[in-house]
A = this chain, B = another copy of it.
Amino acid sequence: MAGFVSHFTNRLDAKGRVSIPAPFRAVLARDGYEGLYCITSSHCQAVDAGGNELCAEIEKCSEAFAKLSPDHDALSVALFGASENPKVDGDGRMTISDMIREHTGITDQVTFVGMKYKFQIWEPERFREYRAEAQKRAFAMLSGQAPASSGGEPA
């Protein structure tokens, strides 16, 4: 099925490498893998990662402003300056850069969280905290929102 789902926690090895979960690699390949795109999240201590689909989303974001305009420039710096294209080795591992380490606080373990069109990279303990918070917010959002057309409360 399509998209990144579920979450996985893997260990960093002595060289700073970590295996990207196999199901996520499969999604990347299906999406027409051209390298992994990573960008630090602006509102949480995580890194967004993905393939073409994530790239397209980010570009769409910056296209909202006219090129050469101050706004566009500022946004470009903010977006692309905080981005990376980590290499993925033949065994499906990526290296955690210093930028990612600093932004996420990752030391020896990494949690990968599927979010359908992208996935996030977290320090496991911080993810647990964020997740608890996210679940509360999600519950509030869904119950505040008008019920969907087809009968039946999702999840």
Contact = CB atoms under 8 A, between A and B. Distances in A.
Interface string A55-94: 1011111101101101101111111111111000000000
Interface residues of A, number: 69
A30 to B, nearest CB: 12
A37 B85 contact: no
A34 B3 CA distance: 13
A20 interface: no
B67 A137 contact: no
Interface string A111-155: 001111110100000000011011101110110010010111011
B148 A57 contact: yes
A16 interface: no
